[in-house]
Amino acid sequence: MFLSIRHSALLFLSILASPSIINAQTRAPLPFTDSTWSQPYEPFRIAGNLYYVGTYDLACYLVTTPQGHILINSGLEDSAPMIRKSVESLGFKFSDIKILLTNQAHYDHVGGLAAIKQATGAKMMINEADAQVLADGGQSDFIFGGKGAMFAGVEADRLLHNNDMVELGGTKLQVFHHPGHTKGSTSFLVDVRDDSRTWKVLLVNIPSILDMTRISGMPSYPNVGKDYQYTIQSLKKIQFDIWVAGHASQFQLHDKHKPGDAYNPGAFRDQEGFLASINAIDVQYKNRLKDEK
């Protein structure tokens, strides 16, 4: 009996002392949440070997290959079980996820990565400029930081840079550094193939401008305005067939696809919608810069 009680006590202490538990106990409050961020959404095939496995608004993507899979984004911290269910309902093994990526290191896109990495052993890859924010759970974020960790941190296994390639099982994702929204915001360009053709897909980080961001410069991010200008111009030059984004609402997912719809990659073409979105941010950027002078 003594050994059993002692063993149980030691097990409890070891669990309590684990980094994930300590992190959860000291978590800082989230700046903002939305009910649609945690609302389930039926997973579906977007094009070729690219699938949607996110929530109603927080977009997460699975790229499948014969040598394992790539997961892009994870939603909030409590979204990990939902993502796992979505992956498995599509007929794929959650444990086959080999690489983790993200569009940006904000809590609503990376909150579940620690749990997913722990469950799968996947390699975490992120732009170098967002690596510290991811590692410290958002504590060093130039907008939301300074109040403690908002999510379980993850150390990067590989640091990404502009024009790097992420490769797995014959699929290659080109990395585009699109800073501004975060210092390491990233878009990906990938070719996926179905029975009829190859689709060039842009998984874009839309460079929305937060109310707290001063385009003229901030102490912890003096070049934020120049980065936004670069990103907006860079996005206008990328050639693609179809596009999706980090939030479902940013690319009007719910107008283009309803649960139960048949496979239809063409629904996500919408180059006009993409350019309208980027041009609207360009106008906002110029107005904000003018107002701050």
Rounded to an integer, what distance in angstroms lies between the CA atom of residue 206 and that of residue 59? 12
The encoded tokens of residue 147 equal 């109040």
What are the per-10-residue average pLDDT scores of the chain (293 residues)? Answer: 36 36 67 97 98 98 98 97 98 98 98 98 98 98 96 98 98 98 98 97 98 95 98 98 98 98 98 98 96 88
Q: Which residues of 204-213 are buried (b: 16+ CB within 10 A; e: fewer)?
A: bbbbbbeeeb
Taking the CB of residue 17, how many other CB atoms lie within 10 A of it? 9
d(CA 277, CA 269): 14
Domain boundaries, the chain: 32-291
Comparing C-alpha atoms, which of 74, 86, 75 is closest to residue 38?
Answer: 75
Sheet holding 186-193, edge to edge: 165-168, 171-177, 186-193, 198-204, 242-245
* Nearest partner of 54 among 1, 10, 112, judged by Cα: 112
Beta strands in the chain (DSSP E): 44-47, 50-52, 61-65, 68-72, 97-101, 123-127, 158-160, 165-168, 171-177, 186-193, 198-204, 242-245
Q: Which strands sit side by side in the sheet containing 97-101, from one edge to the other?
A: 44-47, 50-52, 61-65, 68-72, 97-101, 123-127, 158-160
pLDDT at residue 2, rounded to an integer = 31
pLDDT at 23: 44
Buried b (16+ CB within 10 A) or exposed e, 133-145: bbbbbbbbbbbbb
Residue in 65, 130, 128, 116 with CA at minimum distance from that of residue 92: 65
Q: What is the pLDDT of residue 25?
A: 52
Report pLDDT digits (tens) over 132-160: 999 999 999 999 999 999 999 999 999 99
Query: Token pair for residue 185?
Result: 């915001």
H-helix or E-strand spanning residue 120:
helix 113-120
Which CATH number fits the domain 32-291, given the four candidates 3.60.15.10, 3.40.50.2300, 3.40.50.670, 3.40.50.720?
3.60.15.10
pLDDT in tens, 230-272: 999 999 999 999 999 999 999 999 999 999 999 999 999 999 9
- The whole-number pLDDT of residue 293 equals 79
Residue 26: its pLDDT value, please? 77
| pTM assigned to the model | 0.91
Burial readout 41-65 (b: 16 or more C-beta within 10 A, e: otherwise):
bebbbbbbbbbbbbbbbbbbbbbbb
| Residue type for position 287 | N
